[in-house]
Structure 1
Amino acid sequence: MTRYDCQTDEELLELLKNSDEEAFTELFDRHWERISMYVSRVIKCRDDAQDIVQEIFISIWRRRGDISLKSTFLAYLLKSARNLSIRYIEKNINRENFVESLSEQMQSVDLSAISALELQELEAKVDQAIAKLPAKMQQVYHLSRRENLSYKDIAAQLGIAETTVKKQVSNALKQIRSEIETLSATSFMLAFFF
């Protein structure tokens, strides 16, 4: 009988490829709390963080036969957690919440790392980036992120397809992100990870 708690992550992954549920459970038990805490710290919502981590592990189970790692399993989990956290933030953020969240984080960050001036610069960059969007994209972005309307409601209001709304919001976020990438690395990290 295999002792799963003595196996390395890599050994457990090999067992998992053969649909070994106990190997999966061991990997889950080993990493669940750490990844949940990481995601919770990034998105600031424990319940949603647990949903994200559950989504990661469901994906691992579904793709168990195809998983091929270039680094450690923990690195894979952290990268997956980071990507899903960013996707969550992009989906749920609006400018007011963004600035409010950033301001809250500023209280717990050493001001030598980032100054209030940098925060103002970030706010200005976000506003500038929004102003540079094409008019229709600005309108869709505003309805989505400032008015908090669903894609369906925006599509009905503007008489366009829901997929068009989704694409417009996605493109707007990409352009805004591109604009603020010129900020210092510290400001950029705070903008998207806190």
Structure 2
Amino acid sequence: MADQPLHADHALMAKIADGDHRAFALLYNRYWPLLYLHAYRMLRDEKAAEDAVQETFTWFWKNAPLITFKGSVSSYLYGAIRHHVLNQIRHEKVKGAYFDEIAAYITAGHYQVDEVVRYNELVEAIESEIDRMPPRMREIFNLSRKHLHSHKEIAELLGISESTVREQIKRALRQLRVVVNDKSYLLLIAMQLLR
């Protein structure tokens, strides 16, 4: 029974990807109030929250054919709203006075329900980007971050210099930085990614 909403959302998503406006309207009406409340809790501004939800749904509609889900549609939408709001903050679209309040909100751990979802979405995005790396870079990065080998061990294992290992890891992290684009996430990559 609990799987029905998940299944229904995925069925709607398939129709939306095919350009079905009615399916999009159903999804929009189902999640707009919840996403608005989520955005409002972060922004404390009704107009900014409405704009964030509207812009997120607009982006979602335009990109629906390219979006794939491993989890739930609702988790994806919550993550998209959060990402959009954080981008607004970065680009100073929200009054500066709210930044400290939002940072405190995030630090205080008010995302208890979403922490696992956020982490899993992050790991998926990182894994996807790692898969796009050139084979040698991917191999070196995985030996370093997944298998916890030192630069020296990787160099010996692959018959290359330590400086080559260091350079490949730096390039890999730069490539991930473009995708992740968030310093706290980059810290996660550097410290505990894919344990």
TM-score, structure 2 normalization: 0.46
Answer 1 or 2: higher relative contact order, Cα 8 Å, separation at least 6: 1
